A and B are shown apart, each in its own frame.
Chain A
Amino acid sequence: MNRVALTIAGLTLREATRRRVLMALAVLTVVLLALSGWGFSRFAAESGGTLTSGEARLTASILLNLVMFGYSLIAALGTAFLAGPTLSGETESGIALAVLARPIRRSSFLLGKWLGLVAFGSGYVTLAGLAQVVVVGLTVDYWPPEPVAALALLAGQTVVLLTLAVLLSTVISPMASGVVAVGLFCTTWVAGVVGGIGAALDNDAVARVGTVSRVLLPTDGLWRGAMHAFQDPSALLQFGGADGQAFPFLSVAPLTPAYLAWTALWVAMVWGLAAVSFVRRDL
Chain B
Amino acid sequence: MDGVGLEVGRGEVVGLLGPNGAGKTTVIKMLLGLVRPDAGEVVMLLGQPAGDPAARARVGYLPELFRYQPWLSAAEVLELHVRLSGAAVSADERRDVLALVGLAERARDRVGGFSKGMQQRLGLAVALVARPELVVLDEPTSALDPLGRVDVRDIVLSLKARGVAVLLNSHLIGEVERVCDRVVILDRGRVAASGTLTELLGQHEVRLHLTGLPATGEARLAAAGRVEREGDWFTVAFPADDDTTVPDLVRDLVGLGVRVHAVEPGRISLEERLLGILRDGAEETA
Contacts and interface: CB of A to CB of B under 8 A. Distances in A.
A104 B71 contact: no
Given A94-B63, A97-B34, A282-B35, A103 B86 contact: yes
A15 B71 CA distance: 7
Interface in A80-109: 93-95, 97-105
A7 interface: yes
A42 interface: no
Nearest to A95: B67
Contact of B35 (A11, A105, A283): A283
Contacts of A282: 29, 34-36
Nearest to B29: A283
Contact of A97 (B56, B57, B63): B63
Contacts of A95: 67-69
Interface string B53-78: 11111010111011111011000000
The binding surface of chain A is classed by DSSP as helix
B32 interface: yes
A51 B54 CA distance: 69
A135 B238 CA distance: 92
A98 B53 contact: no
A212 B53 CA distance: 41
A98 B36 contact: no
A97 B84 contact: no
B71 A14 contact: yes
A117 B33 CA distance: 26
A101 B130 CA distance: 12
Contact of A7 (B34, B68, B84, B126): B84
How many of chain A's residues touch chain B, expressed as a range? 20 to 34
Given A98-B66, A283-B29, A103 B53 contact: yes
A280 B61 CA distance: 21
Nearest to B81: A102
Given A282-B36, A283-B34, A283-B35, A102 B84 contact: yes
Interface residues of B, number: 30
B85 interface: yes
Contacts of B99: none
B148 interface: no
B123 interface: yes
Contacts of A15: 69, 71
Given A101-B59, A103-B57, A94 B67 contact: yes
B56 A101 contact: yes
B226 interface: no
Interface in A50-97: 93-95, 97
Interface string B73-95: 00000001101111000000000
Contact of A99 (B55, B84, B86): B84
Interface string A1-34: 0011001000100110011000000000000000
A93 B112 CA distance: 13
A98 B120 CA distance: 12
B165 to A, nearest CB: 16
Contacts of B57: 103
Contacts of B59: 101, 103
Nearest to A18: B71
Nearest to A283: B34
Contacts of B84: 4, 7, 99, 102-104
Given A100-B34, A103-B54, A282-B36, A93 B67 contact: yes
Contacts of A280: 36
Contacts of B61: 97-98, 101
Nearest to A281: B36
B80 A7 contact: yes
B68 A98 contact: yes
19 contacts: A7-B80, A7-B84, A18-B71, A93-B67, A94-B66, A95-B69, A97-B61, A97-B65, A98-B61, A98-B62, A98-B68, A98-B123, A99-B80, A101-B33, A103-B86, A104-B84, A282-B29, A283-B29, A283-B35
Interface of B: 29, 32-36, 53-57, 59, 61-63, 65-69, 71-72, 80-81, 83-86, 123, 126
Given A18-B72, A282-B29, 14 more contacts: A7-B80, A14-B72, A15-B69, A93-B67, A95-B69, A97-B67, A98-B63, A101-B56, A101-B63, A102-B53, A103-B57, A282-B34, A282-B35, A283-B35
